[in-house]
Structure 1
Amino acid sequence: MAGQRQVATAGAALPGRTRWGVFAAIAGVPVLLTGLLAVALVVAFLFTGDEDTGSRTPGTASCARALGFGGAALPPGAGTASCAVTHGITTAYAADFPMPRADLRGRPARTYPDAPAPRTDCADADADLCLDLGRSPAGLPDGVAAHGVRVAVHPEGAGSVRVYFSAFTVSRGP
């Protein structure tokens, strides 16, 4: 009979002992999976490129396209232009070029007939003239892709100026 008593107690838990090991294993699986998911998200965030966040470095652009985006064109007699584009949350084109000083005053009115006259009290202290345009009635003609255009004119010499042109929009662009 003593042998039977040993058999009966062998399969049961010892008095005062619980099964926390089984509970810990079952509860630990979701905690482990959550931790692995958090690590995977951190790794994915660290190794994604800038293209996923919408910010990109500027690239070169055709000057006809850059100026055309803001409803302008390279003026006759302008020197070599440098143009760039940046796509991201906004699309922005930039151009800078030298041009004869003699054509400066009439050029903005011919390009943007509904725009106010260029100002001389510019935020850029080095600029002789500046022009900030937005959608109509602020001066940009209908059909222009840009939401805004900024032009700043800096003196470059006795007979020439350097024009800094930028056109931007908040959409993905063309």
Structure 2
Amino acid sequence: MTETQTETQAQEPVEQTVPGGTRWGVFAAIMAVPTLVVAGLIALLVAWLFTDDSVDTGEQKVSCAEAFAYGGAKPPTGARDLGCVLEAAPDPRYEARFLLRSSEVSAWVAASYPDGPGLRHVACGGDHDVYACMNRGPVAGQSASVQLEVTYDGPKWSVVRFVAFTE
């Protein structure tokens, strides 16, 4: 008996298709890398926002009475926005900044340092905004030198920078 062609084909094993032969796994692996990078950047941003990144500048706030007393002066009456700091160094260096009416600056300097020097309006250093200044070395009974710089802050007010330090 001879086999017919149809019977031969029927006896050959039929190839089965395996399910899941797509490339979704490769696509998922490729997409996981940028997703992890973005998640890492977000985590770093959150960590940066919530960490204490304050830098110790060596300055601490002090009472202005202490700062002015070190330089042999009293805080001016009528001063606004008065703030005083002490720089941490081997020798103390006090700095005060405040607003004072321009018409009262010379009177405050004269009352604080009756033995001079007074404010001068020329040769006040390289800052062109400074219209008046004073440099005072240590005098009898004091160990501190004082520097004053006065700049305009509008038509009626001046910003005064008071620095008292040991040379």
TM > 0.5 fold call: yes
How far has the Cα of 1:116 moved from its partner? 2.1
Q: Does residue 163 of the first structure (1) align with residue 160 of the second (2)?
A: yes
TM norm structure 1: 0.58
Q: Which residues in structure 2 correspond to 1:108-123 (within 5 Å)?
A: 108-121=109-122, 122-123=124-125
> In 1, distance between residues paired with 2:142 and 2:98?
21
**Counterpart position of 1:60:** 61
Q: Does residue 77 of the first structure (1) align with residue 81 of the second (2)?
A: no
**Counterpart position of 1:129:** 132
**Counterpart position of 2:89:** 88
> In 1, distance between residues paired with 2:65 and 2:117?
24
Q: Give the letter for the 1:164 counterpart.
A: R
SS at match of 2:109: helix
Q: Give the letter for the 2:133 counterpart.
A: C
Give the alignment's Cα RMSD to 1 decimal.
Answer: 1.5
TM norm structure 2: 0.61
- Gapped regions of structure 1 (runs ≥ 5): 1-55, 137-141
SS at match of 1:89: coil
SS at match of 1:154: strand
Greater radius of gyration (CA)? 2
How far has the Cα of 1:106 moved from its partner? 1.8
SS at match of 1:167: strand
- Gapped regions of structure 2 (runs ≥ 5): 1-56
Runs of 4+ in 1 over 4 A off after TM superposition: none
How far has the Cα of 1:125 moved from its partner? 1.8
How far has the Cα of 1:145 moved from its partner? 4.1
Alignment length, in residue pairs?
109
> In 2, distance between residues paired with 1:151 and 1:94?
10
Cα deviation digits, residues 81-119 of structure 1 (max 9, x gap): 111001322210000000111212222111101112211
